[in-house]
């Protein structure tokens, strides 16, 4: 910026990690920034919740270390010594009555070593052999595929799709791979285009990482540390942070400066919340569409999930029977599975054994106490737990945790429960994605723009901030 040029005024709508990261970038560059957050709490889908005397992450709990983007931000905020690593225990897939360790070297369940013992265990020998021929198939196989599922089915076979890729996609993206495009998975499309085979692409992406869930890290005390750090940092830099202030729409305005335009951010009863040269919308997709006046935005598809966390006193869980956790294949739900196992189906789609995954959490919880986090709600259907009271949900979650962990948990060992419902956006590259043309002077940030996961969205927020600054000159 020129030393004597006026500071651009930039309004950031949304005080989640995207909005706060964008605000920080803008403030560092010398802009005059206001963050407008609709709720009383900053952080959006990063949120802490009280459970049995501790605070757990009830939203995002970790970040991918890929690219170093989040680690760099954490470093800049002075939080590097708070970074914690998960225990290298691996995770599992529950498929009907079977529990299978997830092959370690894979990307989104695409096996990097199709004939490894773990992959053969997961797919059976016929399924593993089918997957193993993939590098020999001509590039044309799967070239017509319209979704990730079609591509995986064509190249690796149905077993790899149903037993590995689908449960992992449902766990990571809360979306069926039939609805996802290859572009959803960061780096996969480029690696596949380069190598021409999914197995080689998966190998490239894994890049030597060992854990099945990818290389991730967390923060001691929870991911809310990142939000607290960002808030303190932006305030120190003079950013105004408004909470409990919902933006209802944005309106282009004429200013005295020739052709400069600018924007008003309007709240309830058209009250002016901010007048700015540029606006960064760091809100979910449906909100962004509504703010720019797109009609029909309210009806746009978002899937809900419910996270249910239990504190359980049972030392039998000390041995971490499912490692850091398990994903439940769709096949485990429904009449087939019920007939096969003689038991009621598992309704949860995933379980994280928090105290096994994060040794720090185990120390905090104390001997014999365990925290598990279950998630409910598959693409296209409401979570089975929504609308039920806590006692009913406690029963369902205890049953599911028992089945998944292979340990019959008694009711009196469940000492506490906390639950939270979330709306999940549509990842970019989804088959039903709709184009969004941002008006001049408005830039977008968030997982629906840059891809799921903090690594992608922190980078996306920086890009959005840079675009807003460039447009300000």
Binding site for ligand FAD (CB under 6 A): 13-19, 36-39, 44-46, 59-63, 246-247, 282-284, 287, 307, 422, 446-447, 452-454, 457
Q: How far is the CB of 163 from ligand FAD (least distance, A)?
A: 23
CB nearer to ligand FAD: pick between 40 and 389: 40
CB nearer to ligand FAD: pick between 195 and 248: 248
Which stretches within 56-106 are classed as H helix?
A: 69-76
Give phi and psi for 448, each to the nearest 5. Answer: -75, -15
Using DSSP, state whether 240 is helix, strand or coil: strand
CB nearer to ligand FAD: pick between 161 and 456: 456
CA distance 54 to 229: 20
Q: How far is the CB of 55 from ligand FAD (least distance, A)?
A: 15
Instruction: Name residue, tokens 């808030």.
Output: 231
Closest by CA position to 11, among listed 208, 253, 215: 253
Furthest-apart CA atoms within the chain: distance in Å: 76
CA distance 260 to 279: 14
CB nearer to ligand FAD: pick between 192 and 422: 422
Strand 240-242 with 216-219, pairing: unpaired
Closest by CA position to 109, among listed 122, 121, 98, 95: 122
CB nearer to ligand FAD: pick between 84 and 129: 84
Q: How far is the CB of 184 from ligand FAD (least distance, A)?
A: 13
CB nearer to ligand FAD: pick between 194 and 246: 246
CA distance 80 to 61: 16
Q: Are residues 142 and 155 in contact, defined by beta-carbon separation less than 8 angstroms? A: yes
Give phi and psi for 322, each to the nearest 5. Answer: -120, 35
CB nearer to ligand FAD: pick between 5 and 39: 39
CB nearer to ligand FAD: pick between 304 and 338: 304
In sequence order, the 6+-apart residues with CB closer than 8 A to the CB of 391 are: none
Q: How far is the CB of 447 from ligand FAD (least distance, A)?
A: 4
Closest by CA position to 170, among listed 375, 382, 372, 349: 349
451 backbone φψ class: left, alpha, beta (φ>0; ψ -120 to 50): left
Q: How far is the CB of 192 from ligand FAD (least distance, A)?
A: 22
**189: buried, middle or exposed (CB in 10 Å: 19+, 13-18, 0-12)?**
middle
CB nearer to ligand FAD: pick between 262 and 453: 453
How many residues are given for the chain? 473
Q: How far is the CB of 59 from ligand FAD (least distance, A)?
A: 5
Q: How far is the CB of 451 from ligand FAD (least distance, A)?
A: 9
Q: How far is the CB of 16 from ligand FAD (least distance, A)?
A: 2
CB nearer to ligand FAD: pick between 153 and 206: 206
Structure tokens at 442: 């408005």
CA distance 300 to 284: 11
CB nearer to ligand FAD: pick between 198 and 348: 348
Structure tokens at 180: 């996802």
Instruction: Name residue, tokens 């890729």.
Output: 165
Using DSSP, state whether 392 is helix, strand or coil: helix
């Amino acid at each position: 910026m020129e030393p004597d040029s006026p500071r651009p005024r930039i309004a950031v709508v949304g005080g989640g990690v995207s909005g706060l990261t964008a605000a920080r970038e803008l403030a560092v560059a010398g802009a005059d920034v206001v963050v407008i957050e609709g709720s009383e709490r900053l952080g959006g889908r990063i949120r802490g919740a009280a459970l049995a005397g501790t605070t757990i992450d009830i939203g995002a709990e970790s970040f991918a270390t890929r690219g170093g983007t989040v680690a760099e931000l954490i470093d800049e905020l002075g939080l590097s010594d708070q970074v914690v690593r998960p225990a290298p225990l691996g995770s599992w897939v529950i498929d009907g009555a079977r529990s299978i360790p997830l092959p370690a070297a894979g990307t989104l369940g695409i096996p990097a070593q199709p004939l490894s013992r773990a992959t053969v265990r997961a797919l059976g020998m016929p399924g593993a052999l089918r997957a193993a021929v993939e590098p020999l198939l001509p590039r044309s196989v799967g070239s017509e595929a319209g979704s990730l599922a079609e591509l995986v089915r064509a190249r690796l076979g149905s077993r790899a799709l149903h037993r590995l890729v689908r449960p992992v996609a449902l766990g990571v993206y809360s979306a069926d791979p039939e609805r996802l495009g290859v572009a959803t998975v960061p780096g996969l499309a480029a690696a596949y285009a380069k190598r021409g085979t999914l197995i080689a692409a998966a190998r490239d992406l894994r890049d030597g990482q060992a854990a099945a869930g990818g290389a991730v890290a967390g923060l001691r005390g929870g991911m809310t540390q990142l939000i607290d750090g960002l808030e303190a940092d932006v305030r120190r830099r003079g950013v105004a942070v408004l909470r409990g202030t919902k933006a209802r729409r944005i309106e282009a305005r004429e200013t005295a400066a020739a052709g400069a335009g600018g924007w008003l951010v309007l709240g309830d009863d058209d009250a002016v919340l901010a007048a700015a040269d540029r606006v960064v919308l760091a809100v979910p997709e449906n909100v962004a569409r509504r703010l720019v006046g797109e009609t029909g935005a309210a009806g746009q598809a978002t899937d809900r999930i419910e996270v249910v966390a239990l504190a359980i006193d049972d030392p039998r869980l000390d041995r971490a029977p499912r490692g850091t956790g398990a994903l439940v294949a769709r096949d485990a739900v429904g009449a087939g599975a019920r007939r096969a196992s003689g038991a009621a189906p598992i309704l949860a789609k995933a379980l994280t054994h928090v105290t096994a995954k994060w040794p720090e959490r185990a120390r905090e919880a104390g001997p014999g106490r365990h925290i598990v986090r279950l998630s409910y709600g598959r693409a296209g259907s409401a979570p089975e737990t929504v609308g039920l009271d806590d006692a009913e949900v406690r029963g369902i979650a205890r049953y599911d945790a028992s089945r998944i962990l292979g340990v019959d948990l008694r009711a009196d060992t469940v000492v506490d429960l906390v639950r939270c419902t979330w709306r999940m956006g549509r990842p970019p590259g989804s088959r039903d994605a709709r184009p969004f043309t941002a008006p001049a002077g408005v830039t977008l940030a968030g997982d629906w723009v840059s891809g799921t996961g903090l690594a992608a969205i922190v980078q996306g927020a920086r890009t959005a901030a840079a675009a807003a600054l460039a447009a300000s000159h």
